[in-house]
Structure 1
């Protein structure tokens, strides 16, 4: 019988235990042997839990128990998760995790340890919650050179933007509702500032392109500067604003990567992804575009992926089936100043005619947008494709005749 330890009994941890015991019989058939959860690690007391006899507060009990062959880490964060996971792998135990921060920061190191110890390190739940994306990238799409990955990777920000677009709410009100519904934390920075999406695109890019991409190497922006005025202008052009994480294979062995709000056309496969749903577009050289869609977070969707990895770890005990990528310096990441795209720009002009002449000189031919109740001194337009460096230079120069109110990149997916 395979014995499992679950580290953490919060939302995902309790969901993992729930899904495991609810479907235990069918899971054992898939794993090829009987399984049971021997320990649940948490510093809190759960005296009313039906699993109260399984709770321990000392990780060393788990680490030093040779019967435990699989550890499921669902604590989150780097401390103490990193130490627990590393120690478990070094002790010859397979590890599964939902911890995107851990995988994004330490994935290459932990995968190398797993390979050396002939155990497994699985992390399907770290990206997309219950959406299967890690294993399909590694297995089903392995015949492809992955040219590009782009997606809506954070359910909280997608919910907020959906409220702004559908219901005409401003950012602060939409955020408050997200917090009331439990979609956003009291401190929402990880979501609304783009850090969560950044960690996820780092994991996907590392897997797709074979080299570890560290979050600090990725240009990251959130949605806090998006206004209802921006939403209205984009709606007039049959477009939506989404927080997009994207990574693309470029020439000379380099990739471009970033996380930022983007204007995308209504007919895009990503534009219709609303509320807390996620969608990930993978562009392969043989398959073309493949889209993975579903709830990207939540107790049971994430727990589903954790439990599936537990089954895989048990089934492949004694054989390393872990994914892999190489640790690396970050010189294969193209400087973001060279990133090229069109731009939506909104200005408050001191003199509209003068500003339009300056815009023409700096941006070339542009498409002007309009909205209801548009102030006479407000200009909004979409530029042609320009590099980040050239766009910022043009914005700086146009500031002599107008004040910048908003700038959002325009992507074609």
Structure 2
């Protein structure tokens, strides 16, 4: 059914006013909503997001009060900020989407000071926000909630909260359409783009308010990335001496007196460091915290060099996720981690030999826990290698070593 120009203008005004209210009353969520577009779509039942737009069926939008519309908008952007759209591919989709709704609704309930009307849609009342034991969803990740719901719905379960059976959940089945998420699970750019947007919004919000008033979701995402521990200007200088035009080996850098390195002082702040291959271990032994710390180090290297760092960022487990080139911070931020299987260091060097022979890296930096057999040094083909390890127990038999504390 074609919409009249008057209706389109009215719906557009309603959406823009909602975003303005959220920006004024819930700044963190409002800042994130500024990155989205909005669309009327009669092919969906109620509302959905594809990671770039929030799509409303006109009839559903027309039925919402201002408070309900604000809730729906915040609900969608919270899914995106938490990257629910990219996760759970191997899980039961219906149950996982219920888990995602529980987490989001719980965050929004806390944001509204515990007012159940803030997460309510007429005529159904408050949307689901707790687990079967009554605990709030924001205390868990979506995957953790999924596991709890799975156990609670299994045969023989003694859960007393049968009204929270996912199969009868209003939140999922009647209005929040998650089917538009599917294409994002294969999108290698989406995750890091929104990680940085969420972190930036959280930092802005923190500057404008006290820590005590920082939204729970903003606080969680603000700590997702961490400050780097490594002085990358010193470390990288050790690997690329042939590209550095202004340094001296007398005296060595005293910050590393206890390290196995003998490092020159670095004096040329304008040098562009090129062709560095960063490889992050994303195998099953690497936790999300470890991978986040590793990625933070790579981002920190670029920041410390003032953007004068170029190379590739790749990921590996038992296979190599092909490294992607970067020459500035924006390019680095859209490269998304992938992996989760076993670990092989040998495949890194085999990949370099097979795919990068015409433009080999000046150095290879492997960020890992070190829990895999180390290959023969000859496979490195005389390319300097740094193992940046997140533990003290592993000692590589060759290459340079630095330690990263979690």
TM-score (norm 1): 0.33
Q: Which has the higher helix share?
A: 2
Q: Give the structure with higher Rg (CA).
A: 2
Normalized against structure 2, the TM-score is what? 0.33
1 or 2 for the larger relative contact order (CA 8 Å, sep ≥6)? Answer: 1
Structure 1 or 2: larger strand share? Answer: 1
